[in-house]
Each structure stands twice: as structure tokens, then as C-alpha cells.
Amino acid sequence: MNTKTLLSVGGPAGGRLLETEPARAEFVVSAERKAEIRFYDAALKPVAPTSQAVTITAEPTSGRVKLEVVRTEFGFATKDALPAGEPYRVVVQVRATPEAKPQNFRLDLNLGHCAGCARAEYACTCESH
């Protein structure tokens, strides 16, 4: 499985930017604990998804959970909240089209706040960790 790059630049919504093509994507956890993938143009302005497909899998200690995603105005969101029990790994697959090869991203989901950059730990932009 080919794993793509997680950018150390923070996303516009406070999440983690993912280096995806053709549009940039951001992984964000909402106040309702739903995972969202939001798409942006080169200037980081929100854009509606076109033919992209997204899957999100949570990997808590209780076992892997493939989460159902629904299309939103600017991307996708999980239908249900993320499982409790973080920190754990989340795997995001983004496809330019449903038939395209997936771009895979592994994120360590930690919802605690970083004192250095004031972002959630999963979206931390500090160089030190």
C-alpha cells in the first residue's frame, strides 16, 4: 500500500492537510467527532468534490472499523462519530475517481491540544514532534 505525504502545514479548518490530486484535501474532526475530508483549490479556497471517492477506516484497540461516508458541500464526512478510545490510527483513502488508484494516508488520531501550535494533536504543525 502506497502511503502519501501528510503536510506539516495546517489546514484552513484547523485540520491536517493531505497532499492529494487534483484538489488538496484536509482531514478534520468536527465537534460531533465526525471525520471530514474537505477539498480545496491551490489557493486553499473550498471546492466541491467532483468525481473523488473517499474511505475512512478507524483502527482503535477494539478493532478496525470502516466508517460510512456521505458527500457534503465541500467533501465527505462520516455518517457516524469516530469510535472512542483514542489515540489510534485512522486510514484515509482518496481516489480521484472511483476507479483510480487510491492515495493512502495514515493519521494518528489524538484529539488532545498541542500547547505549541494550539491545534489538535492530530493536526499539529510543530516541528518538534
The mean pLDDT of 95-108, rounded to a whole number, is 94
* Contact residues for 113 (Cβ-Cβ < 8 A; gap 6+): 119, 120, 121
pLDDT at 91: 97
The mean pLDDT of 42-46, rounded to a whole number, is 92
* Contact residues for 6 (Cβ-Cβ < 8 A; gap 6+): 16, 17, 18, 19, 105, 107
pLDDT at 126: 87
Task: Give me the CATH code for the 6-120 domain, please.
Answer: 2.60.40.10
pLDDT at 1: 45
Q: Residue ranges of the domains in the chain?
A: 6-120
